Amino acid sequence: MNLDAMQLTWRQAALALALVAWLPGCKRQNAYVAPPSPHVEVAQPLRQAVTPYLEATGNTVAYNQVDLVARVDGFLQEIRCQDGASVRRGDTLFVIEPAPYQAKLQQAQSMLASAQAQAAQSDAEYNRQASLGRSDFSSRTAVDQALAQRDTNQANVQNQQAAVTLAAINLGYTQVTAPFDGVVTAHEVAVGSLVGFSGPTKLASVIQFNPIYVSFTISEQDVLRIRGSLRRTGLTEADLNKIPVAIGLMTEPGYPHSGTLDYAAPSIDTETGTLKVRGVLANADRTLLPGFFARVRVPLAMQQTEALLVPDTALGTDQSGRYLLVVDKDDVVQQRSVKTGALVGSLRVIEGGLLPDERVVISGLQRAIVGGTVVPQPSTIQSATLSAAGKS
């Protein structure tokens, strides 16, 4: 090996040693770097006076509804109403052939006239016998017989008067009239049909729409709450009609139809633990039909009370119930179990478990981990309408 080759070999060896010595100095250590704290929107609960309401479901019920039936037998002679037409109280809707009943009335009247004539004759005969008896020109037996005949004929007059009354009533039944203002349903028999022969025959129905009832039930707990509220405001069960009630149909927002409570059952149904309640509402335009499903709202208190409200979307649910996420003074997320109350628009009343000055996470809940820190972004909760629906 010549000198040049040896020098090249030594240079390569030195370069290799230098690389070996340099490699440990270039190695970097792996270290965990915590991610930045997430940003969440927080706000203190809104303090606002609201009227708490009880919310229930029920059905509308006709104020009056009656079946028109044939109370006397005969052939249906006339139908004087249109199916579905509005009728007034006393309007004649159906006519059952009146001629036979008119004849029976005349017959009863003639028999009454005959009985009255006999009673007048026997009364005169008794007076004559009594006068003769006082002068001893008539026996006591004759006087007693005249008295008995007079009393018998007078009783017969009363009997015939009753027969006339019954005949007049039956004649009146041939005119089937509307018992109240309302709407008549479709007729169920045709002209010429024999009705009332084997029992009352249904001809149609009349339904009164204005006003209209709404019937619903409330729990025993709500009954106690309402009674307590009445006592605090100086009202009694006799003032039931002073408590407002509002309803909304399935396709209607809110509760556009208003009225007052009308009736509450005197006792709790022990099988269901509920009390039946009824309200009455004006319905001049017939917007409400009997049988509609209705959302019902009744105030639990007659005066507004101050409450804490948070967005309903800020609430979570677990096995223990409803909860909120709050941020403490160290910006650490904590979970608060709360008692929820009425819904006011999009806000929910918080009845317990939350302080007025606590910061509630209202946005970014997915990023807020219980026990973790966050970067709170202050915000405010917008005011809600001054009413509250019932619990849900």
Question: Has residue 73 got a pLDDT over 70?
Answer: yes
Higher per-residue pLDDT: 105 or 9:
105
What pLDDT is recorded for position 144? 77
Domain annotation covers residue 14: no
Residue 4 pLDDT level (bands cut at 50, 70, 90): low
Minimum mean pLDDT range among 178-182, 241-245, 292-296: 241-245
Does 160 lie in the same domain as 105? yes
- For residue 273, the 8-state DSSP code is T
Cβ atoms within 10 Å of 241's Cβ, excluding its own: 13
What pLDDT is recorded for position 257? 95
Cβ atoms within 10 Å of 154's Cβ, excluding its own: 17
Does 313 lie in the same domain as 290? no
Domain annotation covers residue 132: yes
The CATH number of the domain holding residue 58 is: 2.40.30.170
Number of structural domains found in the chain: 3
Q: Which residue range(s) make up the domain with 263?
A: 54-62+207-299
Does 295 lie in the same domain as 211? yes
End-of-domain residue from the set 173, 198, 233: 173
Residue-wise pLDDT tens digits, 125-148: 777 777 766 666 667 777 778 788
Can you name the residues that pair with 48 across neighbouring β-strands? 307
End-of-domain residue from the set 299, 320, 346: 299
- Per DSSP, the three-state class of 128 is helix
Q: Average of pLDDT values for 308-321?
A: 91
Domain annotation covers residue 81: no
Does 357 lie in the same domain as 318? yes
What pLDDT is recorded for position 135? 66
What pLDDT is recorded for position 341? 80
Does 106 lie in the same domain as 169? yes
- CA separation for the pair 227, 235 (Å, rounded): 9
What pLDDT is recorded for position 29? 61
Question: Has residue 28 got a pLDDT over 80?
Answer: no
CA torsion 153→157→163→168, rounded to 10°? Answer: 160
The CATH number of the domain holding residue 122 is: 1.10.287
Does 244 lie in the same domain as 162? no
Does 144 lie in the same domain as 214? no
Minimum mean pLDDT range among 157-161, 216-220, 303-307: 303-307
Q: Average of pLDDT values for 11-36?
A: 59
Higher per-residue pLDDT: 70 or 124:
70
Domain annotation covers residue 30: no
Does 320 lie in the same domain as 250? no
Q: Share the mean pLDDT of the chain.
A: 85
Does 214 lie in the same domain as 280? yes
Domain annotation covers residue 112: yes
What pLDDT is recorded for position 221? 85
Residue-wise pLDDT tens digits, 205-259: 999 999 999 999 999 888 887 777 777 777 777 777 888 999 999 999 889 999 9
First to last CA, the chain: 99
Residue-wise pLDDT tens digits, 341-364: 877 778 888 989 999 999 999 998
CA 281 to chain centre: 11
Domain annotation covers residue 179: no
What pLDDT is recorded for position 392? 46
End-of-domain residue from the set 264, 299, 334: 299
Does 273 lie in the same domain as 216? yes
Does 281 lie in the same domain as 226? yes
